[in-house]
């Protein structure tokens, strides 16, 4: 089974819409059409930037996908400050990150909340990027696989069988996010293989199709080794996605 790697840039709460337009324009200068032959690319700006970035991608026929960083599970209603998957779908958003560890830790998102969001995203024809990953304490106590398995089972539990096969899972060890410390390629591969086996136990036919990204201090120097692993199908990139040249080098990891 060939799985096309997906390289996603999570901009987090950075860049206003003027800066966002500049970044996508720089990125499109850095990447040539053939760079997309064997890889998919998505950028995930803050909500306030989405419409501007969508317009530029459209007008200049850029080949990367538009993504969002979060959404609510409901289509509409009295949820002040929230953005619905129905709204994102209307903006040509392709991928929506759900359950990022920052949302789990800082905004109290449980596996149940993440499951509802993932199902809502899929129902609106977009692809959820479902984040899982253990903390340093959980890794040091030897519980990492158990914790991640529970997150995978819980966070994917509301998807239909067909939706499950299309989902992206991002394995992001919390201790590697924004720290400059990356999981070794072997450790990342071990966990991604475990995630695939958990998915196989739910629906065997989905496991080979599901793309599993690694995230956590990915940069131009470590991307190629991580991506050479058999169960790693791309990267979710935070800090290094804010600079066009470094993100482009990650997209072109095969040239490293």
Is 17 an active-site residue?
Answer: no
C-beta of 213 vs 252, nearer to ligand PEP: 213
- Residue 128 interacting with ligand PEP (CB under 6 A): no
- Residue 178 interacting with ligand PEP (CB under 6 A): yes
User: Pick from 84, 151, 158, 217: which binds ligand PEP (CB under 6 A)?
Assistant: 217
Is 194 an active-site residue?
Answer: no
C-beta of 11 vs 64, nearer to ligand PEP: 11
Number of residues that bind ligand PEP (CB under 6 A): 14
* Rounded Cα–Cα distance for residues 217 and 163 (Å): 29
User: Pick from 239, 246, 247, 251: which binds ligand PEP (CB under 6 A)?
Assistant: 239
Q: How far is the CB of 219 from ligand PEP (least distance, A)?
A: 8
Write out the DSSP string of the chain.
-----EEEEE--S---HHHHHHHHHHHHHH--GGGGSS-EEEEE--HHHHHHHHHHHHHTT--SEEEES---SSSSSS-TT---HHHHHTTTEEEEEES-HHHHHHS---HHHHHHHHHHHHHTT-EEEEEE---HHHHHTT-HHHHHHHHHHHHTTTS-HHHHHH-EEEE--GGGTTTS----HHHHHHHHHHHHHHHHHH-HHHHTT-EEEEESS--TTTHHHHHTSTT--EEEESGGGGSHHHHHHHHTGGG-
- Residue 172 interacting with ligand PEP (CB under 6 A): yes
- Residue 46 interacting with ligand PEP (CB under 6 A): no
Q: How far is the CB of 70 from ligand PEP (least distance, A)?
A: 12
What token pair was written down for 166? 């299309």
User: Pick from 5, 128, 133, 216: which binds ligand PEP (CB under 6 A)?
Assistant: 216
C-beta of 198 vs 240, nearer to ligand PEP: 240
- Residue 213 interacting with ligand PEP (CB under 6 A): no
- Residue 126 interacting with ligand PEP (CB under 6 A): no
Active centre residues (catalytic)? 100, 172
**Where on the chain is the footprint of ligand PEP (CB under 6 A)?**
10, 12, 172, 177-178, 215-218, 236-240
């Amino acid at each position: 089974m060939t799985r096309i790697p997906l390289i996603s840039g999570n901009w987090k709460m950075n860049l206003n819409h003027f800066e966002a337009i500049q970044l996508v324009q720089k990125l499109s200068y850095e990447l040539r059409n053939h760079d997309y032959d064997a890889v998919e690319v998505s950028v995930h700006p803050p909500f306030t930037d989405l419409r501007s970035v969508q317009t530029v991608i459209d007008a200049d026929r850029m080949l990367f996908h538009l993504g969002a960083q979060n959404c609510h599970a409901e289509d509409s209603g009295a949820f002040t400050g929230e953005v619905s998957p129905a709204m994102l779908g209307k903006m040509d958003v392709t991928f929506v990150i759900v359950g990022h560890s920052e949302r789990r830790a800082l905004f109290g998102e449980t596996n149940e909340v993440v499951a509802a969001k993932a199902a809502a995203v899929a129902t609106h024809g977009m692809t959820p990027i479902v984040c899982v990953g253990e903390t340093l304490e959980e890794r040091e106590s030897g519980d990492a696989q158990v914790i991640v398995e529970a997150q995978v089972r819980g966070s994917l539990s509301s998807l239909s069988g067909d939706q499950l096969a299309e989902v992206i899972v991002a394995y992001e060890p919390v201790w590697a996010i924004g720290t400059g410390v990356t999981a070794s390629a072997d450790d990342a591969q071990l966990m991604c293989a475990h995630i695939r086996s958990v998915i196989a136990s739910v629906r065997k036919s989905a496991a080979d199709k599901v793309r599993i990204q690694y995230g956590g201090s990915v940069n131009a120097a470590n991307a190629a080794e991580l991506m050479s692993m058999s169960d790693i199908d791309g990267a979710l990139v935070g800090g290094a996605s804010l600079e066009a040249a470094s993100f482009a080098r990650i997209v072109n990891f095969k040239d490293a």
